[in-house]
Chain A
Amino acid sequence: MASEEEKKAVFDAESAKEVVKELRASFAAGKTKSYEWRSTQLNAMLKMMEENEPQIIAALRDDLSKPELESSIYEIAMVKSSCTVALKKMKHWMMPEKAKTSLITFPSSAEIVSEPLGVVLVISAWNYPFLLSLDPVIGAIAAGNAVVLKPSEIAPATSSLLARLAADYLDRSCIKVVEGAVPETSALLEQKWDKILYTGNGRIARIVMAAAAKHLTPVVLELGGKCPVIVDSDINLQVATRRIIAGKWGCNNGQACVSPDYIITTKNYAQKLVDSFKCELERFYGKNPLESKDLSRIVNSNHFARLSKLLDEDKVSSKIVHGGERDEANLRIAPTILLDVPQDSLIMTEEIFGPLLPIILVHKVEDSLDVINSSGTKPLAAYLFTNNKKLKEKFVATVSAGGLVVNDTTVHLAEHTLPFGGVGDSGMGAYHGKFSFDTFSHKKAVLYRGFAGDAFVRYPPYSRGKLRLLQALFNGSFLGIIRALLGWSKS
């Protein structure tokens, strides 16, 4: 017991340095480069998920009261699927990509070779603690790197479970889990990494990027934002409502970076929408949602207080049209809908990350695009429910966000052929599927030349003739080249 506490107390800059040193040695020894090593690790991870499902579900219940189905699907199944995709496609991803060459370098051949960056750091978040830890690690392993994973301390049960499982199943000399909070994270950030992937909020992201800047370390920042949902009138209201509910309260009770944050709909349609929500919410969660086993709780009292503050603001508390019930002792807040909140309220200024859903009203649905575009920040995702083709086109063309979904919410995450990442304040870089492999790789350009075909025109002494020939070469025009050559031989 005592030594465990000792271990925990002493992770400082020295310890961080030791960890990096060990991983660098492993990487330099070439351990992580082989296809065999990568596939062994990914297979081990699959086994790890399969053999520990009940423990993982229990840890998630401890940390977040996450419903079993959500844990099973969004944390376990998605990680397994990610491993499977990587295992299936890795050989192909690892192959060099041929590149075209032009007349200027003739004769030559070229290719782009993927190589691991080296030793990378993954810092994950508390809301999907398994998925957001392991999904990036899968990419790092597939690309042949050594990895340190720093899970979030706000989900302590999953953090310690991850540490234990990783040590048991994965190659400890190349993949490590470092637990801890601010001091440990700071110690890690002082070290030189070859890449850092951070999932979390903008404030910490700035600290991560500034620390990375000291070592010229490239970063991927997966942040959040206020993901808007535009609801048009001429739609299948029941389906749309259900999909919004699934993406909002069905995803960790709104505590997800891609959860619908707020809704924009027309004044005329608002009541119908609210009624539909009331009906479907009751169908899903019963009359006493505070007691529903199918909703996660609020992660901790800090966030509970934060969300309460959003609800208690004067100009907002009167706008609650559904829900609003709270149970502080059990950290539960019922699905809450607010109608027509002022745009300058707190709830409309910061990312909600909870079970509160404000509805903003506009005159005509096209105005909602202006509302989103004038907010000054680009969200991680934006959603639109409509059957109007023109509106769809305008939405896709003018709304800038990490990703867009028309007529659904959040499902684009499951599509591994789509890059998952933000833009502007919602982040930089992307991952999932091959994008994970690419993000943890360096794409090295390789040009093969032979000794034949040496263009004398490259070398001094320079002359007008050489200049003309160069110009023709650059233009790629055969006629120009011939003319220049003739001219050259003339002069």
Chain B
Amino acid sequence: MEETIAELRETFRSGTTKSVSWRKKQLKALLDLVNENEDSIFNALDQDLGKSRVESYRDEVGVVKKSATYSLSCLDKWVAPKKGEVPLLFFPAKAEVMPEPLGVVLIFSSWNFPISLALDPLIGAISAGNTVLIKPSELAPACLSFLVQTIPQYLDNKAIKVIGGGADVGERLLELKWDKIFFTGSPRVGRLVMTAAAKHLTPVTLELGGKCPAIVDNTLSNPSKAKVTAKRIVGGKWGPCTGQACIAIDYVLVEEKLASTLIDILKKYIKRFYGDNLKELKSISRIVNKNQFQRLVNLLKDPHVASSVVYGGSVDEEKLVIEPTILLDPPLDSEIMNEEIFGPLLPIITLKNIEESIEFINSKPKPLVIYAFTEDKAFKKRILSETSSGSVTFNDSMVQFLCDSLPFGGVGQSGFGRYHGKYSFDTFSHEKAVLHRAFYPELEPRYPPWTNFKLMFIKLAYGFNYFGLMLLMLGFKKS
């Protein structure tokens, strides 16, 4: 492992990765990798998570392709130094901020989007000119093995590497000195990563999770809007990896009187999208492994929780499948209402007045996303200014993930740092400040021995009081 990082360091020192043409070549090669191996990727995702082809394309393959294409088209712009304005006082001078690669970076990706969460950050790291080691999650073994085999076939081996293995490999990697660590996963492991990074003063980006709420107000009373809302909630909960997504809707907040309307229409679309019952389930992934399966089943064990199930609830332990399940008002102190669910269980919490949803959300740690289905301008404003989350999406679910111009990241317990689009490039770069000065003119008052005149001069200079400076120099100001 020390050898791996030494090789990556050597490659970085040689300057290969700094060249923009090298970076573009790698990004193009990554596109080829994905294009030429689509079927293998679909198979691996089916094996690891039971993802269907459309879901795999939408959430994994398509995301990577879009990201690489976007980066390729913007790279020249991103690497260019940004000019800064320089005050007259420093004339003649030139100021700029130059992005440069951090060096050797480590990317940890998680098992729920095993292809895109490994390759999307990789795209950022390459665009910024770094050498990279990716450690994908061993809980998605087919995808891990696909990455380990295919990446060396397409990308520059000396600069981009993939390593397999489990938690022990992760621990050993964390003992080494990296120039940046990018971690996607749980808050618990996020703490371990940051603690390890602290020993080497390594900056980190932590993409964590949380309980992402969906607020639904009385737009439900409008039948056509209710349909769209329901589709988007259903599609946004069970569509991506059957709820095993950091941005999946964790629970829904709705007014008491609209609860049954909501539940009815949700049921309708669950059946239409995924089938009527457990046996006929389709177009939906499965739970990743027995551990996660057991954890989810345990959430339903509490009798008060079990009795709140209003739809679904059936499980197939052999196939690791849990059907889409809706719960109505499980006890607020139950585990299902305090842990991130990360699965196909959807609690609906009723409130007397939908405005209470703000207080409800604020009583929990800051989530990665808040979803709100509403057309009420004032309510939208309140949500924006009185809650805090990584991001907010109005009247839809999941799609903010696809916007390259929006930063994707958390706040508080949902993490810090961000990526996507240019933010990926920035997160793997150091923005170096550069100031060019000339030898002339020289400002004598900069130098000791100090006098009152010099003090006055510099005071005026700092205030950019050019007129005052002129007066001082002409002898019209007392010093």
| Chain A contact residues, CB within 8 Å of chain B | 28, 33, 67-69, 72-73, 77-78, 80-81, 84, 99-102, 104-105, 108, 110, 112-113, 115, 117-118, 194, 202, 205-207, 209-210, 212-214, 216, 218, 221, 223, 235-236, 239-240, 242-243, 245-246, 250, 284-286, 292-294, 387, 392, 396, 400-408, 411-412, 414-415, 417-420, 423-425, 427-430, 442-451, 454, 458-463, 466-467, 470-471, 474-475
Contact = CB atoms under 8 A, between A and B. Distances in A.
Contacts of A202: 201
Given A105-B403, A444-B411, A415 B447 contact: no
Nearest to B53: A467
Nearest to A220: B203
Q: Sorted from nearest, which 5 A-B pairs have the closest CB atoms?
A: A460-B283, A209-B198, A213-B194, A462-B54, A403-B433
Interface stretch (B108-116, B301-309, B451-459, B469-477): B451-459
A77 B456 CA distance: 11
**Do most interface residues of chain A lie in helix, strand or loop, or is the interface mixed?**
mixed
A67 B407 contact: no
A32 B197 CA distance: 32
A220 to B, nearest CB: 10
B462 A245 contact: no
Contacts of A443: 407, 418
A463 B54 CA distance: 7
Contact of A447 (B197, B269, B272, B394): B394
Interface size class of B (residues with CB under 8 A): 35 or more
Nearest to B413: A216
A100 B437 CA distance: 37
B274 to A, nearest CB: 6
B459 A73 contact: yes
A462 to B, nearest CB: 4
Contact of A407 (B191, B195, B438): B438
Contacts, number: 293
Given A396-B434, A402-B432, A415 B90 contact: yes
A68 B224 CA distance: 73
Contacts of A405: 434-437
Given A206-B201, A444-B390, A449-B393, A212 B405 contact: no
11 contacts: A115-B388, A213-B197, A214-B195, A387-B439, A419-B97, A444-B388, A446-B391, A447-B396, A451-B228, A460-B283, A462-B54
Interface of B: 52-55, 57-58, 62, 65-66, 69, 84-87, 90, 95, 97-98, 100, 102-103, 179, 187, 190-191, 194-195, 197-199, 201, 203, 206, 208, 219, 224-225, 228-229, 231-232, 234-235, 239, 269, 272-274, 282-284, 362, 375, 384-385, 388-396, 399-400, 402-408, 411-413, 415-418, 430-440, 442, 446-450, 454-455, 458-459, 462-463
Contact of A411 (B90, B284, B438): B90
Given A104-B399, A454-B231, A471-B57, A408 B201 contact: no
A444 B57 CA distance: 27
Given A73-B462, A396-B98, A407 B198 contact: no
Contacts of A104: 399, 402-403
A412 B203 CA distance: 24
A84 B235 CA distance: 50
Given A444-B411, A448-B394, 9 more contacts: A108-B399, A218-B416, A411-B90, A417-B85, A444-B389, A461-B282, A462-B55, A467-B54, A470-B62
A459 B206 contact: no
A446 B436 contact: no
B195 A462 contact: no
B26 to A, nearest CB: 20
A112 B400 CA distance: 12
Contact of A462 (B103, B283, B399): B283
A420 B362 CA distance: 34
A213 B191 contact: yes
Contacts of A235: 439
A405 B412 CA distance: 36
Given A68-B455, A205-B201, A216-B208, A462 B52 contact: yes
B346 to A, nearest CB: 16
Contacts of B440: 236, 239
A408 B443 CA distance: 12
Contacts of B389: 444
B327 to A, nearest CB: 22
A281 B418 CA distance: 49
B196 to A, nearest CB: 8
Contacts of A400: 100, 430, 432
Contacts of B405: 99-102, 110
Nearest to B434: A404
A28 B351 CA distance: 22
Contacts of B272: 461
Contacts of B239: 458-460
A283 B431 CA distance: 38
Given A68-B455, A216-B208, A474-B62, A209 B201 contact: yes
Given A245-B447, A412-B435, A462-B54, A110 B406 contact: yes
A449 B283 contact: no
B198 A206 contact: yes
B374 to A, nearest CB: 11
Contacts of A214: 191, 195
Nearest to A409: B437
A106 B100 CA distance: 34
Contacts of B402: 102, 104-105
A112 B459 contact: no
A73 B413 contact: no
Nearest to B206: A216
A207 B187 CA distance: 20
